[in-house]
Chain A
Amino acid sequence: MRRFRPTRVRLVASILVGSLGFAGVGYAASLGLGSKQLHAWRQTLTKGTCNQTSTTADDTYVQQALPTSTAGGTATTLTISPLAGAQDYAFIRFNLSGCSLPTSAGADSAVLTVRVTTAGADTISLFPVTSSWSSSTLNWNGVSSLTIGSTATGTFSASSTGNKTVTVTADVDAAIKAGTLWGWELRATSGTAIVAIGAAQNGTAANRPSMTLSYEK
């Protein structure tokens, strides 16, 4: 009967242990364990839409010539005027509470649509409003106490009547995270004409402002 020498047995065992040790190192490397991963998780998002119509809109316009007037809150059209000493600014916002979005949600896309009912060769710019206002109380004198962004979110030409769209995704995304959308101030940044857009109280539904909103939460 053939006998194995202990030295040969030790050699075989060492080779086996060494090979498996290398296998362990390769396994760890393939898992990307060079740095120590302490915690990993995945957050799945829910997508949806929550389009806004006149029923959730609030709007007004304020008049420099009538600085205490709140008549714009019940007007059927919103006047925008660049005339010196007689400027008119419009304000539009939507109440997003019906969308039930938490402040951790966000807008994937938001597009505001207004309809120009009285045209003029003006460029109308939208500036984001981030402080509270109401169409029933806002007047020209009250505008100075609002927080209004200095950079226009977007513009449209009022040189023809009809629907005008402005992408407002970043503003609405920020508003969702802030908890409330306070909308935009619309004013003429070029031109000399007095123009008008349809208000939420307009008798023709197609003339009223609206906003499409796609979100994630």
Chain B
Amino acid sequence: MKRLTRILGIALTAAFLSVGVASAASLGLATGKLGAGSVAVSGCTSSSLTATRNVDNNGNVTQVNVLSVPQACAGQTLAVTLENSSHTSLGAASAPVGTCTGGCTATVAGFGTVSAANVTAYSLSLTQ
């Protein structure tokens, strides 16, 4: 009985460790680090880049521009969600970050009809 308990204990420990490793690998955290207030930070930037938006004359958002995106982010996908005061999505779109020299401005369009007056936050992410 003692032996069985020991074996089961080792098996459970090994199983939990393997789950941890699998999750870390999925998150790409093997060489990454965690930033306060952010999700996994690794790769081209760890900064909270500034976003602005353009509107049409009706006050609807036509595009979101993320300023000073490092050149190293070229090829990654920038996703933007327009949120209201309850952090509910009013519209979302994504676009690949193009190549450019120095700091790039990445532009995302195609949010549908979203009044800028209702947008109180941008939720942004860079993914590979």
Question: What residues of chain A have their CB less than 8 Å away from a CB belonging to chain B?
Answer: 4, 9, 12-13, 16-17, 19-21, 23-25, 27-28, 31, 33, 35-45, 47, 104-109, 153-154, 167-171, 173-174, 177, 214, 216
Question: What residues of chain B have their CB less than 8 Å away from a CB belonging to chain A?
Answer: 1, 3-4, 7-8, 10-12, 14-16, 18-19, 22-23, 26-28, 37-46, 48-59, 67, 76-77, 83, 115-117, 119-128
What secondary structure prevails in chain B residues at the interface with A? mixed
A33 to B23, CA, bound (A): 9
Known contacts A28-B22, A38-B76, A38-B128; can you find 18 more A-B pairs with CB under 8 A? A9-B3, A13-B10, A16-B11, A20-B15, A20-B19, A27-B23, A33-B27, A35-B128, A37-B27, A37-B127, A38-B44, A39-B39, A40-B125, A47-B117, A104-B67, A109-B59, A167-B57, A169-B57
Contact flag A21-B18 (CB < 8 Å), given A35-B77, A37-B39, A106-B54: yes
**Shortest CB–CB separation between residue B61 and chain A, in angstroms?**
9
Contact of A38 among B23, B28, B115 (CB under 8 A): B28
A24 to B41, CA, bound (A): 21
Give 21 pairs: A residue, B residue, CB < 8 Å, sorted on A.
Answer: A9-B7, A16-B15, A17-B15, A20-B15, A20-B16, A25-B22, A31-B27, A37-B126, A39-B40, A39-B43, A39-B46, A39-B126, A40-B124, A41-B124, A47-B120, A107-B55, A107-B59, A108-B59, A153-B57, A154-B57, A167-B57
A13 closest partner in B (C-beta): B11
B-chain residues with CB within 8 Å of residue A9 when the two chains form the complex = 3-4, 7-8
A76 to B73, CA, bound (A): 55
Asked whether A43 lies within 8 Å of B122 as measured between CB atoms, the reply is yes
Contact of A39 among B10, B12, B18, B41 (CB under 8 A): B41
**Shortest CB–CB separation between residue B83 and chain A, in angstroms?**
8
Contact of B125 among A19, A25, A39 (CB under 8 A): A39
Asked whether A21 lies within 8 Å of B15 as measured between CB atoms, the reply is yes
A9 to B37, CA, bound (A): 45
A-chain residues with CB within 8 Å of residue B46 when the two chains form the complex = 39
Asked whether A28 lies within 8 Å of B26 as measured between CB atoms, the reply is yes
